[in-house]
Structure 1
Amino acid sequence: MKIRTLMAVAFTAGLAYAGQAAADVTLRVADSLPVGHFFSNYATKYWMEEITKRTKGEVKFQYYPAEQLGKAKDLLALTQSGVADVGYVVPSYASDKMPLTAVAELPGSFSDSCSATMAYEKLARDDGILAQKEFKPNGVRLMFTLVLPPYQVFSGKKPIENIKSLEGLKLRTSGGAMEATVRSFGAVSVRMAAPELYESLSRGTVDGMLFPYASLLSYDLAGITGYGTVGENFGSAVLTYVMSESRWNKLSPEARKIMDEVGRETSKRACSMTDKDTKTDIEKIKAKGVQFVHFEGGDRDVIKKKTTDVSKAWAEALDARGKPGSELLAAFHKALEQ
């Protein structure tokens, strides 16, 4: 009788241990950001560390930065297939599968990172229109996000003096709505991922790029950049980390709750720190010899008209494809106001 009792206790303990072991998971996180990139420092590492701490070690991570697990353009597919559990996805790199996210990349609608990030996240979580119409059809769920501060135009060697200076320039874009913005000012859009930009600018494959201040420093481009704009909004880029729904559903309810909370905190933390850095970044770029110009007078009218036209055309093009372009544009502007 004692032996049977001991065996039963041992069996129950074994089941409990097996259940505990099965609950502990290690997730592979993959991105294309260079080591030391501000988004990685402000968001990615914080997110991983906080989740591991708050789950008391139930959820751990293996981190693969700098395209170690795959190219930037392939990270959505790699996350969907399970090669990566959590992937860094720039939706404009996969604009054929995530065209709606470009609403936060349209020019002229915001002046700082946090207003755009909070507005975008509101639409991309829970029952938001982006969560339902963009993320869900792709089988992924938003972990955290950052809408970068408004993009400026930077040129390697060709001076930027007024808005007409952009005509004919070959400018790197990340794709999506940014391509339409570049074309509207008579420039030529050259679509490429950010890690390829240093070599392309050095060789003259592109004349310049649309880029935020912080990324100009993170990708070490300030030293080969001669001219840039300040205080403009030529669009932006949305940065996201996503997990497949199938992988998400395998996590414990407690882990999912913590990851959702930390994800929201991470988005807010990243945009706040990014906005705080903007003035310092401008001074650092100036110290590298970059000459800045702020467009005034008639150039302002031209910029306002063209950016408004780009947004309207973007929405109407999606409407024509049966997608909620105009509805989403209105929802994003309403979220910005809130």
Structure 2
Amino acid sequence: MADNFALTHPVGVGGTQPFLDAIGEADDLEIEYFASGQLGHQADMPTVIRNGTAEIGVVSAAYAGSNLPLSGVSDLPGFGNDACQVGYALRDVARPGGILYEKELKDLNFRPLWAGSLPSFEVMTSGRHVSLPKDLKGSIIRSTGGTVDRMISGSSGFRVR
């Protein structure tokens, strides 16, 4: 199993570790786990799975947009404010019979084992009130990457380094 995140990352804590724990309870399954990008970067995960380097991989569609353009829908701003609600909706459209599965994942021979999503995007500051993008002028912004980088760069005039 390939993962670009560490087990201490929120994706690891809330997704990967519970999955590995459930697999560990099965008597006839064994997982060799490669964390923190040992088998490839996040953008490489679809290829790592397709070429057989790993049979299971943690894929974040925000980083794999060229391979999974439709799957990134859950990362779009305004899609939902509750990460659980968005995760459940994504799970439903990504399972066999769901539109995302039928239009994108099925042809790749991918089968999601769990789904997750980020809540709405927020800028957090220390001592500065922000209600409009112009309120961030002169700020240094750290992003989680992927879609958030594109949203910050595209809608606010900021550059992400």
Whether the TM-score (by the shorter chain) exceeds 0.5 is: yes
Alpha-carbon distance in 1 for matches of 2:148, 2:131 = 22
8 Å contact kept, 1:117–1:145: yes
Matched, 1:141 2:108: no
Deviation at 1:116, TM superposition (A): 0.4
43, 56, 80: which one pairs with 1:73? 43
Q: Which amino acid aligns with 1:36?
A: T
Unaligned runs of 5+ in 1: 1-28, 191-205, 207-338
Deviation at 1:111, TM superposition (A): 1.6
Alpha-carbon distance in 1 for matches of 2:42, 2:74 = 20
In structure 2, the CA distance between the partners of 1:116 and 1:178, relative to structure 1 (3 Å rule), is farther
Structure 1 SS opposite 2:123: strand
Deviation at 1:183, TM superposition (A): 1.8
Deviation at 1:176, TM superposition (A): 4.1
Matched, 1:150 2:124: no
Matched, 1:111 2:58: no
The residue aligned with 2:32 is 62
In structure 2, the CA distance between the partners of 1:138 and 1:176, relative to structure 1 (3 Å rule), is farther
Deviation at 1:182, TM superposition (A): 4.2
- Name the count of aligned residue pairs: 159
Alpha-carbon distance in 2 for matches of 1:90, 1:151 = 16
8 Å contact kept, 1:97–1:138: no
Structure 2 SS opposite 1:141: coil
1:86-125 map, 5 Å: 86-125=56-95
8 Å contact kept, 1:30–1:84: yes
So what's the TM-score if we normalise by structure 1? 0.42
Matched, 1:131 2:101: yes
146, 150, 155: which one pairs with 1:179? 150
8 Å contact kept, 1:31–1:66: yes
Matched, 1:41 2:9: no
Q: Which amino acid aligns with 1:183?
A: G
8 Å contact kept, 1:167–1:185: no
8 Å contact kept, 1:166–1:185: no
Deviation at 1:149, TM superposition (A): 2.3
Q: Which has the larger radius of gyration?
A: 1
8 Å contact kept, 2:130–2:136: no
In structure 2, the CA distance between the partners of 1:43 and 1:180, relative to structure 1 (3 Å rule), is closer
Structure 2 SS opposite 1:47: helix
1:162-177 map, 5 Å: 162-163=131-132, 164-166=134-136, 171=141, 172=143, 174-176=145-147
Could you list the runs of 4 or more consecutive aligned residues of structure 1 that deviate by over 6 angstroms after TM superposition? none
Instruction: Give me the CA root mean square deviation.
Output: 2.6
Q: Which amino acid aligns with 1:38?
A: P
The residue aligned with 1:275 is none
Work out the percentage of aligned pairs sharing the same amino acid: 28
What is the CA deviation profile of residues 6-46 of structure 1, one whole-angstrom value per residue up to 9, with x for unaligned ones? xxxxxxxxxxxxxxxxxxxxxxx111112422332333222
Deviation at 1:169, TM superposition (A): 5.8
In structure 2, the CA distance between the partners of 1:151 and 1:62, relative to structure 1 (3 Å rule), is same
Structure 1 SS opposite 2:57: strand
Alpha-carbon distance in 1 for matches of 2:105, 2:149 = 21
Matched, 1:51 2:18: no
Q: Which amino acid aligns with 2:13?
A: N
Alpha-carbon distance in 2 for matches of 1:50, 1:162 = 43
8 Å contact kept, 1:93–1:175: yes
Q: Which amino acid aligns with 2:119?
A: P
Unaligned runs of 5+ in 2: none
Alpha-carbon distance in 1 for matches of 2:140, 2:103 = 33
